């Protein structure tokens, strides 16, 4: 301060208003020798402004230049957006806030921690003069814009942020492909479907094959959470294999349906149909069929009396995998084929077999000729004849082309399975003399012997 000091009056001004020092805790004016100091303690934003000093004594007055006091402070939200009500997909969302701070803060908008840019389909505006900042989402997209919106304001003094939720409603979506499931017979199968639905689903429906609704029971469990539904099939059977499943998610805005997933149940062989007993005429064809199901497909072999058939045995073994059908064909059966025919099916989960009988039939045949016989009167004459045929032929004996019947003097005997005899007791002359013959008969024909 230059000039006469007596009766000097010092006055400070802020924005042309005189500063009145009310308390030394807030501000203080100190004069030391030729210097006057205005001290503002714990400066606040309201202390900012243009300051100057005025000096007055009896000789006149002097006014200093004006100096600006700037009080820096961190960002402060003056106004924040109201909490958001849920919006439908593709609706417009507009958020505004007013942020004060010195120096002016940088304001950024984030969704779920990721800063938004115009590449995210949004518009970001600022009115610096009015400290106003705006985020506009022209078409709300649940995949991009749902979640927590953060407004972050930063300057060198500090930062501040405000959060609010953006809830975007949409039709349901299946979030991942429904996967095929493979289990062994007797195990449980679990299908899991993940989905996105806002609002929450009003109904979740599991479907089987061509749209049959799956209903919970002792062997079926259905559980659901906010983003996942599970179908559990308890104790799967071989007959369940090949069934397909899908899920339908429904909310008030629409529905979504998943892909179809297939249940694969590994199991040992099971005979659906079995080979049946055959009675076939010799040299004719015999065919045995069966249907066997298993997963994986079985290896099926055919056996005769526990000995495996091969193509060298002159047989054909056929299979229709699509229909699970297996066939054994014997083009020309012989008596060697008589016995037990077995179909044996095997895979890594087990073995099953079914058997039946093959009987080879044949027309009657004679094994030789009747021999002439000469006996003395009163002796016994015996004609013997070898026979074959299946079923075993019946035998008729003739004398001079007239059929004989058993009586006191004539006996008709089955000597063995393949031998018959006519016995004439106490032969007499001329009654017993004549031409004797036989005829053998079954359902497939007959054969007549020579006359003896």
Planar angle of CA 259, 263, 269, nearest 5 degrees: 155
Structure tokens at 390: 């299946």
pLDDT at site 234? 97
pLDDT in tens, 211-242: 999 999 999 999 999 999 999 999 999 889 99
pLDDT at site 20? 63
21 φ, ψ (degrees, to nearest 5): -80, 115
DSSP string, 319-362: EEGGGTEEEEEESS--GGG-EEEEEEEEETTEEEEEEEEEEEEE
Mark whether 147 and 180 lie in a shared domain. no
CB 155 within 8 A of CB 75: yes
For the chain, the domain total comes to 5
Structure tokens at 37: 């100091």
CB 5 within 8 A of CB 32: no
Last residue of a domain, one of 166, 190, 217: 166
pLDDT in tens, 293-339: 998 999 999 999 999 999 899 999 999 999 999 999 999 999 999 99
Mean pLDDT, 10 residues at a time, the chain of 452 residues: 52 64 66 74 70 76 78 89 92 95 93 92 92 95 91 94 94 96 95 95 96 95 96 94 96 96 94 95 94 93 96 93 95 94 95 95 90 92 91 92 91 91 91 92 90 88
Least Cα distance to 263 among 177, 180, 178, 349 occurs for 180
Last residue of a domain, one of 110, 140, 166: 166
**Cβ-based burial of 267 (10 A; exposed 0-12, middle 13-18, buried ≥19):** buried
Mark whether 161 and 204 lie in a shared domain. no
pLDDT in tens, 80-121: 999 999 999 999 999 999 999 989 999 999 999 999 998 888
What is the CATH number for 82?
Answer: 2.60.40.10
- Which residue range is the domain that position 38 belongs to? 9-69
Mark whether 85 and 137 lie in a shared domain. yes
Mark whether 84 and 38 lie in a shared domain. no
CB atoms within 10 A of CB 98: 14
| Distance from C-alpha of 360 to C-alpha of 333, rounded to nearest angstrom | 7
**Residue 23 domain flag:** yes
pLDDT at site 29? 72
Three-state secondary structure call for residue 377? coil
Structure tokens at 115: 């800063």
Structure tokens at 87: 């919006």
Strands 181-184 and 261-273: parallel
Three-state secondary structure call for residue 145? helix
Give one word for 366, left, alpha or beta, with left for phi > 0 and alpha for psi -120 to 50.
beta
pLDDT at site 32? 74
Say what the pTM is: 0.57
Least Cα distance to 423 among 385, 366, 368, 367 occurs for 385
Last residue of a domain, one of 308, 328, 361: 361
| Distance from C-alpha of 136 to C-alpha of 122, rounded to nearest angstrom | 6
pLDDT at site 429? 86
**Residue 83 domain flag:** yes
Structure tokens at 287: 């065919």
Mark whether 207 and 124 lie in a shared domain. no
pLDDT at site 10? 57
pLDDT at site 59? 77
pLDDT above 70 coverage of the chain, percent: 93
Least Cα distance to 262 among 277, 280, 242 occurs for 242
């Amino acid at each position: 301060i230059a000039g006469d000091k007596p009766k000097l009056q010092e006055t400070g001004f802020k924005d042309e208003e005189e500063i009145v020092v009310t308390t030394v805790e807030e501000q203080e004016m100190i004069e030391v020798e030729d210097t006057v100091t205005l001290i503002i303690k714990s400066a606040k934003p309201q202390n900012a402004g243009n300051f100057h000093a005025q000096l007055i004594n009896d000789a006149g007055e002097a006014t200093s230049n004006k100096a600006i006091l700037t009080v820096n402070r961190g960002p402060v939200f003056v106004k924040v957006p109201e909490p958001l009500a849920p919006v439908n997909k593709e609706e417009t969302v507009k958020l505004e806030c007013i942020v004060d701070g010195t120096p002016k803060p940088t304001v950024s908008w984030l969704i779920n921690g990721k800063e938004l840019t115009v590449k995210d389909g949004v518009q970001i505006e600022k009115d610096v003069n009015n400290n106003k900042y705006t985020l506009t989402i022209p078409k709300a997209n649940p995949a991009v814009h749902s979640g927590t919106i953060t407004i972050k304001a930063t300057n060198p003094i500090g930062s501040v942020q405000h959060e609010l939720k953006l809830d975007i409603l949409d039709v349901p979506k299946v979030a991942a492909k429904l996967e095929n499931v493979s289990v062994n017979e007797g195990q449980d199968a679990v299908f899991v479907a993940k989905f996105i639905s806002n609002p929450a689903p009003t109904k979740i429906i599991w479907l089987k094959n061509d749209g049959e609704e799956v209903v919970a029971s002792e062997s079926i469990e259905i559980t659901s959470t906010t983003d996942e539904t599970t179908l559990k099939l308890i104790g799967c059977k071989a007959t369940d294999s090949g069934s397909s499943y899908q899920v339908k998610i429904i909310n008030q805005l629409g529905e979504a349906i998943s892909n179809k997933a297939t249940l694969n149940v590994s199991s040992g062989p099971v005979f659906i149909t079995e080979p049946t007993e055959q009675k076939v005429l010799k040299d004719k064809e015999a065919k045995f069929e069966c249907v066997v199901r298993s997963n994986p497909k079985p290896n099926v072999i055919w056996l005769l009396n526990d000995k495996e058939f091969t193509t060298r045995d002159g047989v054909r073994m056929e299979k229709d995998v699509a229909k699970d059908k297996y066939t054994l064909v014997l083009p020309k059966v012989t008596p060697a084929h008589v016995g037990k025919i077995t179909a044996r099916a095997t895979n890594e989960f087990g073995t099953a077999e079914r058997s039946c009988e093959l009987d080879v039939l044949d027309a009657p045949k004679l094994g030789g000729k009747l021999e002439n016989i000469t006996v003395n009167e009163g002796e016994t004459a015996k004609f013997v004849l070898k026979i074959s045929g299946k079923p075993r032929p019946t035998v008729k004996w003739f004398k001079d082309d007239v059929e004989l019947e058993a009586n006191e003097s004539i006996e008709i005997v089955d000597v063995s399975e393949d031998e018959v005899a006519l016995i004439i007791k106490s032969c007499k002359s001329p009654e017993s003399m004549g031409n004797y013959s036989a005829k053998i008969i079954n359902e497939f024909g007959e054969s007549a012997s020579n006359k003896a």
